Amino acid sequence: MSAGSDAAAVHVAVAVILDTDGRVLLTRRADDAHQGGLWEFPGGKLEAGESLAEGLGRELREELGIQPTRTSALLEVRHDYGDKQVLLDVHVVWEFAGEPRALEGQPMRWVDVGQLREHAFPAANQPIVAAVELLSLPAASTGGDAGQ
Ligand SMILES: Nc1nc2c([nH]c(=O)n2[C@@H]2O[C@H](COP(=O)(O)OP(=O)(O)OP(=O)(O)O)[C@@H](O)[C@H]2O)c(=O)[nH]1
Ligand SMILES: [Mg+2]
């Protein structure tokens, strides 16, 4: 019937948030959430009638208390978890206002791009990690020296 269609997919705004050193902000999903206990890029489901920019801004305000001020589209990922289909609309947040705080009590950490693969992510995130590794970022963030 609707094979190949993603009409039933949940549309999710996902943010790859960078600091001035080119590190990436990760949060960990609650144990009882879908894909619980895994690391994620902050974000969440769009509400009815909401644009991507509105949804991204709302989710980052709710989860972290920040406001994105410079963003660009990175990629879209469609993934079927079996119990749920998602469309991840991924944007890079190059600049933001405010200081991120884990407002929902979620574990949160800044990681160098070279450390991303040390974290367990939902399966849909693998192409996101690969795309982030290809971004042009400060050399320190790509691992190797790891000096702070
Ligand atoms: N935020 C986020 N969601 C992801 C990622 N990867 C991934 O598969 N998802 C999936 O996207 C879906 C929606 O994300 P979410 O649970 O953050 O939505 P939300 O913030 O609106 O949560 P809520 O329903 O508790 O209000 C979940 O099924 C989640 O498993 C990711 O990197 N970040
Ligand atoms: Mg969320």
**Which residues does 133 contact at the CB level (< 8 Å), separation at least 6?**
113, 116, 142
Give the class (CATH, top level) of 10-137: alpha beta
Global pTM reads 0.91
Say if residues 53 and 61 touch (Cβ distance below 8 Å).
no
Alpha carbon distance 89, 84 (integer Å): 16
The domain limits of the chain are: 10-137
105 alpha carbon to ligand 2 midpoint, in Å? 12
Q: Is 43 annotated as a binding residue?
A: yes
For residue 137, what pLDDT is reported?
Answer: 80
What is the atom index within ligand 1 of the atom nearest the CA of 41? 32
ipTM score of complex: 0.96
136 — pLDDT class (breaks 50, 70, 90): confident
pLDDT in tens, 49-64: 999 999 999 999 999 9
**pLDDT higher than 60, residue 145:** no
State the closest ligand 1 atom to the C-alpha of 81, by its place in the atom list counted from 1.
8
Q: Assign 117 a pLDDT band (cuts: 50, 70, 90).
A: very high
